């Protein structure tokens, strides 16, 4: 690419004479952005960069579509394997009867007696059945979570298997406490009590050991009736005696789940101890663990939750029990670092910035080499940078993100560097473009890995690149005047 230039003296004479004879002509010509001016080149390149927004948006839509399909598959795996499990209980239900008195207006006398009605009321009494809700005095959970990976097609989902044991004790309330809860109490059916355990996904149960109740082993049965405050779980019939005030219990459970596990701290004091080889826990719920230890080999966490931390009592009745009592929880999620779809979505957001910075660098190379790239060559280079995200998406669905990113970026850098070097007929120019793109894609990978500092790193990249371009283009004004 060669550029024909008029002799310097001819340019000076013609330019000077034009400016002297017609002062307004020079300003009008500059305002019209002649094709050879650097400002015109900037305008064309900016238009090409903006036009590349269209294929970038198409790639973004494709990433969103694939990510949505991935989430649907993960939800389907969670549904069949077991979702986020929440364990509530054990809770003791004790039947009772109470006398209820209703008053109604007495029927009026016969109309022949001259009286249309009566103000007298008649009291009627009847017995109704109810249930006391009694919570444990002490409750301890001790469990291990073993993470696993389930695959369907090309998609993978993180799940877990929990091996859990809970133990504690119930203390029967005094007669005065029962009377305060139900003033019209008639009798308590201690022989018809139930122990209830709520579980979000009982279909994911693998092992349900017998409930060891004061040294006796009792088997569970499905359903949690009549406790309507929970949706799913199981119950164990137990026999109580008013002469025995304390009952100890323990049970072993093994179940599947996904995402995480939550506990409803129903004990007067609830202790929770969890272990897992997963190194990325995310503690959730209304109470954080009192102690925790996180290493590359996994985590260990322990909670100690007093009854005063919650808003419902240790003793109540079923009809007055709050519907949302299970919303107060403590637990942990097996946090997955950003999926490759999330990383690609974030990288596409930097697409326009990277294309713009690359094009600005090309303009600087043009000015330094006294050569020009055709607008079509700018467009093809920009499309190659867009195809990088498509290549990354395709590879990352089959391989780990790092090798996929390395392969996609290496392919893009080599292709663009060779193309620009051939177009400029300058090997050093092609190598310079390759070095620039290598730095850009290395910085992009660093930004993607730093979730908490991504904005800071992205802003620093913009400032550094703009500063470098300003230094490289500081002589443009001087050259344009001469």
Structure-model confidence comparison of residues 320 and 15, the more confident one:
320
Say if strands 298-306 and 291-295 run parallel, antiparallel, or are unpaired: antiparallel
The helix (run of H) or strand (run of E) holding residue 56 is: helix 53-81
> Which residues are bridge partners to 211 per DSSP?
218
Residues in the chain: 482
Cis peptide before 360 (omega within 30 of 0): no
C-alpha distances in angstroms, 190 versus 93, 196, 210, 237, 317?
Answer: 9, 15, 21, 11, 15
The backbone torsions φ and ψ at residue 272, rounded to the nearest 5 degrees and listed phi first, read -130, 130
- When pLDDT is cut at 50, 70 and 90, the band that residue 372 belongs to is confident
Structure-model confidence comparison of residues 181 and 479, the more confident one:
181
> Which residues are bridge partners to 142 per DSSP?
165, 273
Nearest to 327 by CA among 203, 227, 200, 141: 200
pTM, full prediction: 0.72
Token digits of residue 319: 């009809």
Mean pLDDT comparison of 107-121, 289-303, 438-452, highest-scoring range: 289-303
> Which residues are bridge partners to 294 per DSSP?
299
Cis peptide before 81 (omega within 30 of 0): no
How far, in Å, CA of 455 to CA of 452, rounded? 8
Q: What is the pLDDT of residues 211-231, one digit of tens each?
A: 999 989 999 999 998 998 999
CB of 251 within 8 A of CB of 211?
Answer: yes
- When pLDDT is cut at 50, 70 and 90, the band that residue 480 belongs to is very low
Whole-number pLDDT of residue 34: 61
Q: How many CA atoms lie within 13 A of 218 on its CB side?
A: 21
Question: Looking at residues 419-445, what average pLDDT do you find?
Answer: 84
Say if strands 85-105 and 260-264 run parallel, antiparallel, or are unpaired: parallel
Whole-number pLDDT of residue 450: 76
The backbone torsions φ and ψ at residue 375, rounded to the nearest 5 degrees and listed phi first, read -55, -35
Neighbours of 348 (CB within 10 A): 22
- When pLDDT is cut at 50, 70 and 90, the band that residue 482 belongs to is very low
Answer yes or no: is pLDDT of 33 > 80: no
Domain boundaries, the chain: 38-68+341-481, 84-102+122-336
CB of 392 within 8 A of CB of 412?
Answer: no
Q: What is the pLDDT of residues 75-100, one digit of tens each?
A: 888 788 988 999 998 999 999 999 87
Among 40-49, 54-63, 202-211, the minimum mean pLDDT is found in 40-49
């Amino acid at each position: 690419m060669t550029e024909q230039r008029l002799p310097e003296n001819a340019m000076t004479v013609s330019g000077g004479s034009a400016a002297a004879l017609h002062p307004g002509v020079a300003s009008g010509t500059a305002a019209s952005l002649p094709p050879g001016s650097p400002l015109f080149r900037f305008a064309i390149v900016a238009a090409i960069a903006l036009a590349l927004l269209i294929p970038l948006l198409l790639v973004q839509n494709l990433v969103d579509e694939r990510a949505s399909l991935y989430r649907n598959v993960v939800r389907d795996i969670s549904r069949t394997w077991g979702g986020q499990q929440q364990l509530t209980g054990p809770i003791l239900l004790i039947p009772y009867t109470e006398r209820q008195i209703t008053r109604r207006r007495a029927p009026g006398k016969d109309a022949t007696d001259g009286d249309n009605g009566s103000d007298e009321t008649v009291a009627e009494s009847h017995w109704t059945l109810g249930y006391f809700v009694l919570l444990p005095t002490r409750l301890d959970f001790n469990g291990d979570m073993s993470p696993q990976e389930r695959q369907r097609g090309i998609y993978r989902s993180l799940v877990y298997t929990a091996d859990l044991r809970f133990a504690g004790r119930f203390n029967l309330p005094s007669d005065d406490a029962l009377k305060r809860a139900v003033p019209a109490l008639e009798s308590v059916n201690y022989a018809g009590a139930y122990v209830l355990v709520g579980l979000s996904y009982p279909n994911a149960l693998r092992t349900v050991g017998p409930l060891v109740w004061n040294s006796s082993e009792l088997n569970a049965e499905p359903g949690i009736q009549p406790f309507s405050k929970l949706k799913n779980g199981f119950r164990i019939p137990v026999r109580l005696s008013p002469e025995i005030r304390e009952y100890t219990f323990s049970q072993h459970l093994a179940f599947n789940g996904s995402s995480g596990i939550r506990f409803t701290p129903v004990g007067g004091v609830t202790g929770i101890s969890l272990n897992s080889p997963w190194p990325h826990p995310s503690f959730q719920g209304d109470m954080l663990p009192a102690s925790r230890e996180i290493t590359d080999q996994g985590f260990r966490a322990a909670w100690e939750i007093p009854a005063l931390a919650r808003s419902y009592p240790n003793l109540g009745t079923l009809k007055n029990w709050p519907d949302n009592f299970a919303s107060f929880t403590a637990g942990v999620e097996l946090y997955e670092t950003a999926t490759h779809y999330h990383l690609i979505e974030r990288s596409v957001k930097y697409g326009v910035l990277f294309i713009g910075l690359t094009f600005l660098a090309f303009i600087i190379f043009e000015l330094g080499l006294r050569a020009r790239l055709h607008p079509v060559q700018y467009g093809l280079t920009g499309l190659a940078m867009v195809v990088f995200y498509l290549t990354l998406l395709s590879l990352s669905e089959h391989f780990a993100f790092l090798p996929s990113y390395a392969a996609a970026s290496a392919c893009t850098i080599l292709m663009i560097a060779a193309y620009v070097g051939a177009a400029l007929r300058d090997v050093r120019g092609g190598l310079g473009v390759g070095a620039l793109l290598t730095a850009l894609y290395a910085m992009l990978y660093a930004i993607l890995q730093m979730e908490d500092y991504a904005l800071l790193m992205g802003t620093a990249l913009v400032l550094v690149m703009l500063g470098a371009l300003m230094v490289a283009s500081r002589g443009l004004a001087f050259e344009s005047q001469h």
